[in-house]
Structure 1
């Protein structure tokens, strides 16, 4: 009961469970269970990939797959491979452990479900995923398959890339993206033995001084634009020495934040064998708070209608972490939860939208302190003409969308709403009598559920002495200033059983009607299935 109510009120992280499989939408079975799905969200989440038993084909050559994996820091502890499709799939959020290790790194002998087809896989350590979490795939060939993978490199090497001929490279070109655009607050720690050609550094650049990192703008080839800065690090050509296999350096804050290594625990290591080199230049891409060294420009766009990456700071400001944007975004809404978003596709199923502008001011001190844990990103503000619409909008499905010039989705997310509700309904803090209160020959019911579309009290009262009961459902009225739903009934309903029927949109599920107990109730039935009206001053209670 309480978890459902938290969802109804827009608080907590509880999710309403789906209705039993046997129940049809709107059927008596679903309603009796306390849950009725009025309108499901489009594109229900896919079920976890099932484990498939491998079946041998008589007379066919044995097919196997070994994946070698090397991390730049040499630390492979906890790293697993999660597989699906033509490979057997472990449980969701789990993976196969390494079968062994060698001079290259570790290797995984992937259990196959088929002797042909495509193996999907991810290399991960818990929630830390290589290649930015992008799905990887490999097409099986008959017989023994063996590939080598380098951290941050999506190339399938068919032999050990560290044994390939030394590349002809003299420059590593770094593309660095920060979502806050504060490149002047960061610099490079460089040292003479890191593979760099110090003779080609600009005059006046001092290296190997931790408290004085080299400004990014002081590096050769520095250029700013298109959401990133680019600079060159001159390196000693590995063709002159086979032991020159990699470049190492550190990006860290300038004083007083010199010990902040931008989310990385170790040095940034660039394996030359992983680079595509042209004209003696190899490119890498680095992203703020991301330890991956990308060898191709990463697609950082993320599209979801359920992940709640954004956060309302107050009723008019919303922060979208890890998004760099200077233009407006749209807040789409749907009363029945029918919004569908897809990358490079137009938004579908929305009832409408309001436009939020990029906020260029200073976030108020109280909000900045409360949400200081959020990663850097863009802040957007509701236009003054739309503020009055916010209470109604927060009872619907809301999806923040950044669109391209062609109106197609580039990024999309939902937002955590506690900051907005606290601001919109600050007056609720002064409501003293939430719950069921018996007073002056009446019983008053009050429930704070600001995101609910409708709330009713479901009363169960005895009929005479025959053990029979009567259940009635009576709608409550919403106070727009506090978000409190209320109903007053004549008579002292001491001992009456009751629940609330709440119609609310639940992220990832849809528009539901849910029966919940009262979190402010003074009494519950055995097992907590029903709330009980209790008057603490009544002789029956004492």
Structure 2
């Protein structure tokens, strides 16, 4: 079978006739482990089977550039990097990718011609990393390699030197949907293996998609002909309902603004209320339902536990 002939950098250089053999094999291929000399900066090697070489020329792995773990595809030069940012494993509790506007994602991840990037989302969550792979593939928004415009660099100067990606035009009709559940940025090798994964910061895209439209919305309790309409901005929520006078009333979402609203009866005047907001919570990695007062309320109960339907006009 295939073996690894090593010399410069190897703690125990091999004889051509007795190369290192794989230490294990899995669905992605075989794994070689090479002990290095102290202070090694490179490793010279040839992958071969008898006198048949995987690549025609001698190979040298620059450890400072590529690190101490690389993935290779048979018969192809170059490396697939299984880790990013100097070796951090996939970690969904962090949010290292930033979705800065409707079509642009910035993520400090090293790319090659053999890697692909995508946003993965799940409406109800439930995706985790198990043995180096996602527990569920979710739904994908494909990302294409791009670059930040001068205007974007001026708006986000701290990101100006980071790699940028654009959402594939074929997937842009699902952007709003993807923001209302678990959202992950992933990088994969050509064979589909997960190389990197992280959460996604979405403040930029939420402002871009909804900010101007929601700015003109009337939030909190608004009365017309003595009938109240209660509205709250919650663009990433899965559901929002109103808890009032011992009842739970569903609210309707305006997809243009991200505002949830419900219109009630005159009898709602003076009643205590709060919202039940079901939303993905990255800190606990699951959907949660928060019971909250109205951030735009005009009055609160004495214990501040609920808002009051009050017309101050």
Q: TM-score, normalised by structure 2?
A: 0.69
- Partners of 2:310 and 2:303 in 1: how far apart? 17
Work out whether residues 496 and 532 of structure 1, in 8 Å CA contact, stay in contact via their aligned partners in 2. yes
Residues 453-472 of structure 1 mapped to structure 2, 5 A cutoff: 453-460=238-245, 471-472=246-247
Work out whether residues 455 and 476 of structure 1, in 8 Å CA contact, stay in contact via their aligned partners in 2. yes
Relative to structure 1, is the Cα distance of residues 414 and 436 closer, same or farther in structure 2, using a 3 angstrom cutoff? same
List, as ranges, runs of 4+ consecutive aligned residues in structure 1 with deviation greater than 6 Å: 223-227
Work out whether residues 346 and 407 of structure 1, in 8 Å CA contact, stay in contact via their aligned partners in 2. no
Find the counterpart in structure 1 of residue 145 from structure 2: 358
Find the counterpart in structure 1 of residue 282 from structure 2: 507
Find the counterpart in structure 2 of residue 420 from structure 1: 205
- Partners of 2:182 and 2:148 in 1: how far apart? 28
Q: Which one of the candidate residues 246, 253, 258 is aligned to 1:478?
A: 253
Q: Which one of the candidate residues 99, 107, 128 is aligned to 1:340?
A: 128
- Partners of 1:329 and 1:226 in 2: how far apart? 24
Find the counterpart in structure 2 of residue 434 from structure 1: 219
Find the counterpart in structure 1 of residue 299 from structure 2: 523
- SS of residue matched to 1:369: helix
Q: Deviations over 1:219-259 (max 9, x none)?
A: xxxx9999949xxxxxxxxxxxxxxxxxxxxxxxxxxxxxx
Find the counterpart in structure 1 of residue 3 from structure 2: none
Once the two structures are TM-superposed, the CA of residue 352 in structure 1 deviates from its matched residue by: 2.2
Once the two structures are TM-superposed, the CA of residue 401 in structure 1 deviates from its matched residue by: 0.9
Relative to structure 1, is the Cα distance of residues 391 and 341 closer, same or farther in structure 2, using a 3 angstrom cutoff? same
- Partners of 1:432 and 1:395 in 2: how far apart? 20
Find the counterpart in structure 1 of residue 27 from structure 2: none
- Partners of 1:364 and 1:225 in 2: how far apart? 34
**1:369 maps onto 2:154 in alignment:** yes
- Partners of 2:301 and 2:62 in 1: how far apart? 64
Once the two structures are TM-superposed, the CA of residue 364 in structure 1 deviates from its matched residue by: 4.8
Q: Deviations over 1:7-47 (max 9, x none)?
A: xxxxxxxxxxxxxxxxxxxxxxxxxxxxxxxxxxxxxxxxx
- Partners of 2:204 and 2:137 in 1: how far apart? 24
Find the counterpart in structure 2 of residue 445 from structure 1: 230
Find the counterpart in structure 2 of residue 395 from structure 1: 180
- Partners of 2:259 and 2:62 in 1: how far apart? 49
Work out whether residues 127 and 134 of structure 2, in 8 Å CA contact, stay in contact via their aligned partners in 1. yes
Q: Deviations over 1:44-78 (max 9, x none)?
A: xxxxxxxxxxxxxxxxxxxxxxxxxxxxxxxxxxx
Once the two structures are TM-superposed, the CA of residue 392 in structure 1 deviates from its matched residue by: 1.0
**1:324 maps onto 2:100 in alignment:** no
Q: Deviations over 1:109-140 (max 9, x none)?
A: xxxxxxxxxxxxxxxxxxxxxxxxxxxxxxxx
Find the counterpart in structure 2 of residue 487 from structure 1: 262
Q: Deviations over 1:413-444 (max 9, x none)?
A: 01110111111113434434101112222100
Relative to structure 1, is the Cα distance of residues 429 and 227 closer, same or farther in structure 2, using a 3 angstrom cutoff? farther
Once the two structures are TM-superposed, the CA of residue 483 in structure 1 deviates from its matched residue by: 0.5
Relative to structure 1, is the Cα distance of residues 457 and 507 closer, same or farther in structure 2, using a 3 angstrom cutoff? same
Once the two structures are TM-superposed, the CA of residue 173 in structure 1 deviates from its matched residue by: 5.9
Work out whether residues 347 and 408 of structure 1, in 8 Å CA contact, stay in contact via their aligned partners in 2. no
Work out whether residues 438 and 493 of structure 1, in 8 Å CA contact, stay in contact via their aligned partners in 2. no
Work out whether residues 449 and 483 of structure 1, in 8 Å CA contact, stay in contact via their aligned partners in 2. yes
Find the counterpart in structure 2 of residue 257 from structure 1: none
- Partners of 2:189 and 2:117 in 1: how far apart? 10
Q: Deviations over 1:514-541 (max 9, x none)?
A: 211111111111232101112113xxxx
Work out whether residues 320 and 379 of structure 1, in 8 Å CA contact, stay in contact via their aligned partners in 2. yes
Once the two structures are TM-superposed, the CA of residue 316 in structure 1 deviates from its matched residue by: 1.1
Residues 153-302 of structure 1 mapped to structure 2, 5 A cutoff: 228=65, 300-302=87-89
- SS of residue matched to 1:425: helix
Larger radius of gyration: 1
Q: TM-score, normalised by structure 1?
A: 0.41
- Partners of 1:429 and 1:353 in 2: how far apart? 27
Once the two structures are TM-superposed, the CA of residue 490 in structure 1 deviates from its matched residue by: 2.6
Find the counterpart in structure 2 of residue 382 from structure 1: 167
Q: Deviations over 1:82-107 (max 9, x none)?
A: xxxxxxxxxxxxxxxxxxxxxxxxxx
- SS of residue matched to 1:535: coil
